[in-house]
Structure 1
Amino acid sequence: MDTIMENLDARSLASLNEALQPTPSKWISSYDGFRITLQRVIRVLTRFFPDPHAFADCMCETGAIIGGSTALCIFNGEPWLPGDLDVVVSPTFAPRLMEFVGSNGYVQEDKKVDPYDPPNGVFTSRPFSWFCYRKGDRKIDISTTRKGTPADFIGTYHHSYVMNFICHDGLYSFFPEDTSARRGRVNSYEKEHKAAAAREKYRERGYEVIDDLPIQTFTGDYGHILIHEIKNFWLQKLPLTTSDYRKFCQERSARDKAFQKQVRSSSCLYSIPWISLIVSQRT
């Protein structure tokens, strides 16, 4: 059973856990399927921080999320490990996040060359700023969003199978069914040459593009993928923060729910339960 579960994606593990234990406790289950997903997160974060729970506390405090190959690796239980840690945060809370990263021995790299600069020096306004921190062979990329929330920023990624993220309280996936099958669609919001380069990287890792139709063909979005329009959004709550911060997270969640109730009559957007992740950036 352990061998089978170690090779399952997080969504399948959660389904198996629910089938065998219909009424799990609120924060943690004794069933091994839940433990495996939690251990995947802790194992990856420990590569970058000696105390992964302290980093989860920082994510709770700042509203920062982890995206990119790290979230995908954990979601699908991949044998490969991500080369760096991609973190997204709003400009308001970026200084606190950078302070935490610096306190763990990381040094900000001088941006002599920004890989996200437009070709030929043509100026275009980007929806984010990028910062790189290094400690030995470890690298952390921090993106600060100028438009929308960190969760919205995930909708700008090149393919649907990388539209997953981890926050202080769990694991989230935009397109869980296709992602668990290691397939996805291209995001037409991304520049074609960058999407092609990323596609080759993930093809070597066993991921395929379903066809030439972009995600927007099925979601109806005109720009990047809008998180509040996703119909099959999947999440799993995980006890990543320390006991001291859980109360803080619960109090913030209560404020979010009160805010949702206040605006529900004027907008259907906030009637979605998981939208508290987005609006929590403003509280």
Structure 2
Amino acid sequence: MLPRTTDDNLLDNLSYADLFKYSRTCKDAQNTVSSYMRRKHKLETVLGKYFTDAQILYFRHLQATTGMVISGSTALQFFERILYPESDLDLYVEHRYRRPIALWLASIGYRYVAARKTFRSEHHDAGDGVSITATQPTLEEALAVDVPQLTEGPINYGAHRPTIFFYGSGGGYLDATAILNFQKVDEIGQHRKIQIISSPRSPVEMILNFHSTCVMNFITHEKAYSLYPRATFEERRSLICLFSTAARARAWAKYTERGWTMLDGITGDDFHDLDSSLARGRRYVGDSKTWTIPILPKIDTTCPEDLVEMNSWSLHYDQYLKPHLEFSLLISPQLRFCYLVVDEFLREEIWKIRILHKTYCEGDQHYDWFVKPFVTRYLTETIV
């Protein structure tokens, strides 16, 4: 068996498809590739410049309790086996759970940096007061800003019946409630930047509204997920999902420089091929088309289980073969988090869970873990 460093030098130059083929040649090759993958896909590799090992462990506990995910270029680097020196750490979380994350960052030496100007969401009228980048002079003032859980309107199930389903929305990167900037200078003089990007609803909704599919990747406390892995890492294709703006054009140019072909739509062959890497149809986080990597070591059993695989959506194309992602939102006081729901049939199944109809929450009691088996069974039985 070759030394580990020699293995890395050789295997770094293979694509994931080639690694898979090589691993199937013999038992030794399988063990070599498995060991290599464990070394390459360590969370410490992408978080080491921001946190110590002990801090990374606590960070994962924060992820478990708040539903925070890592996304943006950091998640992409985790899958790519490379590091972008100029990249920042982007953390996505429901707005109501941003406080403990922000206070923890401040406690370990990160300084809140107020933005010089306020941006407003492209998805809302300028007059509705939806502030994005935090300009408040202190962290406490920034955290004091609260907003309602904005929705696109209810999906009604009849008069006088509680509403727990809402229409999902597009809107892109700036469809955020707030962006809190933090900076720190490390012991070698390097500036480290972290952004907490809070969502009025589910962070997964924001990720599905990113500019293109190559950045639709994220990391929870338990697993890393790439939603369109074959297109992203094997074919180096990225499907543009939003209309063009100056900021998005710059983002597309950046990823073109990094080796991706940006697609303004798909071909007829892609549309008719249900095995295409960008095939239309229903999906859920963690399905057979998702690349899922466990985050090791596992953290202690007192942490809440990961609930992100309850999120589902559907990819459609219009007559011009332009993409559109569809889903509705499940929002209830009885649930700790907001979830994406793929279709009306799943909504009907969830609607039967009567506890979700209660309009108030008793203490800190939530029923996400009660709902999960119903959602998981439906998704695994109906989506291949």
TM-score (norm 2): 0.55
2:168 maps to: none
2:168 maps to 1:130: no
Q: Distance in 2 between matches of 1:86 and 1:212?
A: 26
- Give the drift of 1:196: 1.1
Give unmatched runs, 5+ long, in structure 1: 274-283
What pairs with 1:15-164 in structure 2 (closer than 5 Å)?
A: 31-39=34-42, 41-51=43-53, 52-114=56-118, 122-123=126-127, 126-136=175-185, 137-147=191-201, 149-164=202-217
Q: Distance in 2 between matches of 1:69 and 1:202?
A: 10
Q: Distance in 2 between matches of 1:233 and 1:99?
A: 33
What pairs with 1:117-266 in structure 2 (closer than 5 Å)?
A: 122-123=126-127, 126-136=175-185, 137-147=191-201, 149-181=202-234, 182-188=236-242, 191-209=244-262, 211-213=263-265, 232-240=289-297, 245-249=299-303, 252=305, 258-262=370-374
Deviations 1:188-238 (A, max 9, x none): 2x55333211011112222221x32179x86669xxx98569762221112
Q: 1:163 and 1:84, CA in 2 relative to 1: closer, same or farther beyond 3 A?
A: same
1:4 maps to: 10
Say if 1:17 and 1:33, in contact at 8 Å, map to a contact too: no
Q: Distance in 2 between matches of 1:76 and 1:257?
A: 33
- TM-align CA RMSD: 3.9
Give unmatched runs, 5+ long, in structure 2: 1-6, 131-174, 186-190, 272-277, 308-366
2:335 maps to: none
Q: Distance in 2 between matches of 1:155 and 1:240?
A: 28
Q: 1:98 and 1:13, CA in 2 relative to 1: closer, same or farther beyond 3 A?
A: farther
Q: 1:110 and 1:272, CA in 2 relative to 1: closer, same or farther beyond 3 A?
A: farther
The structure with the greater share of residues assigned to helix is 1
Q: Distance in 1 between matches of 2:20 and 2:58?
A: 25
Q: Distance in 1 between matches of 2:178 and 2:238?
A: 27
SS in 2 for 1:195: helix
Letter in 2 for 1:169: E
**Greater Rg by CA:** 2
Letter in 1 for 2:260: Y
Q: 1:246 and 1:106, CA in 2 relative to 1: closer, same or farther beyond 3 A?
A: same
Q: Which moved more, 1:123-132 or 1:59-68?
A: 123-132
Q: Distance in 1 between matches of 2:127 and 2:295?
A: 42
Q: Distance in 2 between matches of 1:133 and 1:145?
A: 17
Say if 1:8 and 1:76, in contact at 8 Å, map to a contact too: no
Identity of aligned residues (%): 23
- Give the drift of 1:246: 2.6
Say if 1:85 and 1:141, in contact at 8 Å, map to a contact too: yes
1:281 maps to: none
Q: Distance in 2 between matches of 1:272 and 1:42?
A: 37
